[in-house]
Structure 1
Amino acid sequence: MHFIPAVQPDEPASAQAWHFVFFEGQVLLPVDLPLEAGLRIAPEEAAAQRHYLGRLDGLDCWTLRLAELPADRQPMPLRAAMMALPEPLMAVAGRAAQVLEWDRAHAFCGVCGTPTERLAHERARRCPACAQVAYPRLSPAMMALLWRRPAGRVPELLLARGPQFKPGYFSALAGFVEAGESLEQCLHREVAEEVGVQVKNLRYYGSQSWPFPHSLMVAYTAEWAGGEIVPQPGEIEEAAWFPIDALPGVPPRFSISGHLIEDTVRWLSGLSPTDPAP
């Protein structure tokens, strides 16, 4: 499935279309319809405040937010919906959620408080009073999966869990990039802050748009260079080195962290001849 992003449709409307409809942050689906089939059904009030996203395999994609929950629709958490969808639809659903959140958060000018207006030629809202323009917000965050090869032992990954994690689940380290900081500087800083160790041999893995609420996750692998694990109070509930043949619960491949961990295990196991790559 091939997605072509756009702000306005530049062709005649497709005979069918995808509709990503939200209510209070959850995806709305017609009652008693499968997930993908439900996304093709538009609510009657879809005309005015919807946003065009582009075309997925030749079908128009729209998103909108409803103020009230219709009787014939049922809500599904966005994360659950994304996990149940094939990857191309999952990505468009995440895009839809971020566009709606941007539109909601910038309904009024952040400089002078005047109601803003949507621009037709680009994804932006402009203040008619002071000309301030607001584009969809993006918060870059790095992700680091640390590894090491202890002499005579199975290779290990450093995984951690935060207080909000499901019991028994661990993941790679992650943190938001600060102003004036490169991704690599952020990685070194976050690793030192969160677990107190040093790293070397940083290798870019890949990236993923993450709509909770508007992050861009940029993932790396990094080799342990020294230091003992000291979890950061309030941020890291537990962190440890895990042999790659005895990992705890980790994220599914729905998220880039799941891809990163699985591909790194394959590389360290010798099942992949090169470093993990997207």
Structure 2
Amino acid sequence: MADSSIYKSYSPAIVPRDDDNELVWMFIFNSNKILIKGEPEYPEIPTSEDFKGIELSFISKQYLGELDGYACYCMEVEDLADAPLGMCFKDLRALLGLVAEDKFLLMGKAFQIVNWNRMNKFCGRCGAMTEPKHNELAKLCPSCNSVYYPRISPAVIVAVVRDGKILLAHNKNFRPKWYSVIAGFVDPGETFEDCVIREVMEEVGIRVKNVKYFGSQPWPFPDSLMVGFIAEYESGEIIVDGEEIDDANWYGRDNLPPRPTNVTIAGRLIESVLFG
């Protein structure tokens, strides 16, 4: 997990440099889809060079900082906007594993900021139109001075281990026969470790102990931060809740069902526990 970083070639900033002549990276979104160029198997982020002679109207535009030394922005277009010739709008989730991890993390950040801009045009307290703060990534209400930051929803994801096997479960929202580790959102007042213990008990009816931090992964669908743990089985028998989880069992390396790949923290947890 230590190699997962958005900052390999990206430097965040709030205020752009005063230079209109440089190349600009353009993270353009239509709903939950991002505009890409190139072959489907090798998607690339378009730049200002790709838009010479092309007019595209943006609902919102937000400076992100610099990628490989060049400015980058995230933008939103109308839902009915067409992709320019040689480009296409593609579901962001489908790009996981097709682009370098640090670039995908930046795509995810851009996606979250576009959603944040869309959802915070008006103050939730007084209804006035918000304005960007000049010195930080935030929106300010000029009427009541309320400040709104990009939303991040923390969630835990945990590999539960027992006698060399891992607990995997099928969520009702998964495709058939697809299994993963237990996950859930953190409640107010909980530590991450509290949340691990509660979520495992609620979803599969067992108690865990020795909860240890593993790593984390931003998950922009729409605004999660997945915080990973490994825990040991303590007691109880598997009883699925029937609401989110409809099946769960213990699996070893020789009988694993279809599951997440290592581009996700879920896949990395499974790999770490069973294959070291």
TM-score (norm 1): 0.87
How far does residue 30 in structure 1 lie from its aligned partner after superposition? 4.7
Contact 1:160/1:170 (<8 A) preserved: yes
Amino acid aligned to 1:16: L
How far does residue 10 in structure 1 lie from its aligned partner after superposition? 3.9
Cross-structure match for 2:204 = 195
Contact 1:31/1:74 (<8 A) preserved: no
Distance 1:148 1:139, change over 3 A: same
Runs of 4+ in 1 over 6 A off after TM superposition: none
Superposed, 1:150-169 pairs within 5 Å as 155-169=164-178
* One of 238, 245, 249 as aligned partner of 2:258: 249
Supply the distance in 1 between the matched residues of 2:256 and 2:243 (Cα, whole angstroms): 24
Amino acid aligned to 1:127: C
Superposed, 1:113-128 pairs within 5 Å as 113-128=127-142
Q: Does 1:139 align with 2:148?
A: no
Give CA deviations for 1:160-186 in whole Å, capped at 9, x if unaligned: 111111222111100101111111111
* One of 217, 228, 231 as aligned partner of 1:222: 231
Cross-structure match for 1:109 = 123
Q: Does 1:89 align with 2:96?
A: no
Contact 2:58/2:77 (<8 A) preserved: no
Q: 1:35 aligns to what SS in structure 2?
A: coil
97-106 or 242-251: which moved more?
Answer: 242-251
Supply the distance in 2 between the matched residues of 1:207 and 1:183 (Cα, whole angstroms): 12
* One of 240, 247, 251 as aligned partner of 1:238: 247
* One of 27, 30, 33 as aligned partner of 1:23: 30
Q: CA RMSD in A?
A: 2.1
Amino acid aligned to 2:158: A
Cross-structure match for 2:94 = 80
Contact 1:119/1:126 (<8 A) preserved: yes
Q: 2:125 aligns to what SS in structure 1?
A: coil
Number of equivalenced pairs: 262
Distance 1:192 1:57, change over 3 A: same
Amino acid aligned to 2:12: P
Amino acid aligned to 1:140: P
Amino acid aligned to 1:17: V
Cross-structure match for 1:178 = 187
Distance 1:83 1:115, change over 3 A: same
14-23 or 62-71: which moved more?
Answer: 14-23
TM-score (norm 2): 0.88
Contact 1:207/1:256 (<8 A) preserved: yes
Distance 1:13 1:137, change over 3 A: same
Contact 1:158/1:172 (<8 A) preserved: yes
How far does residue 3 in structure 1 lie from its aligned partner after superposition? 1.7
Q: 1:265 aligns to what SS in structure 2?
A: helix
How far does residue 29 in structure 1 lie from its aligned partner after superposition? 2.9
Cross-structure match for 1:276 = none
Q: 1:234 aligns to what SS in structure 2?
A: coil
* One of 45, 48, 70 as aligned partner of 2:56: 45
How far does residue 63 in structure 1 lie from its aligned partner after superposition? 0.7
| Structure 1 gap ranges (5+) | 150-154, 268-278
Cross-structure match for 1:69 = 81
Supply the distance in 2 between the matched residues of 1:111 and 1:47 (Cα, whole angstroms): 27
Amino acid aligned to 1:35: P
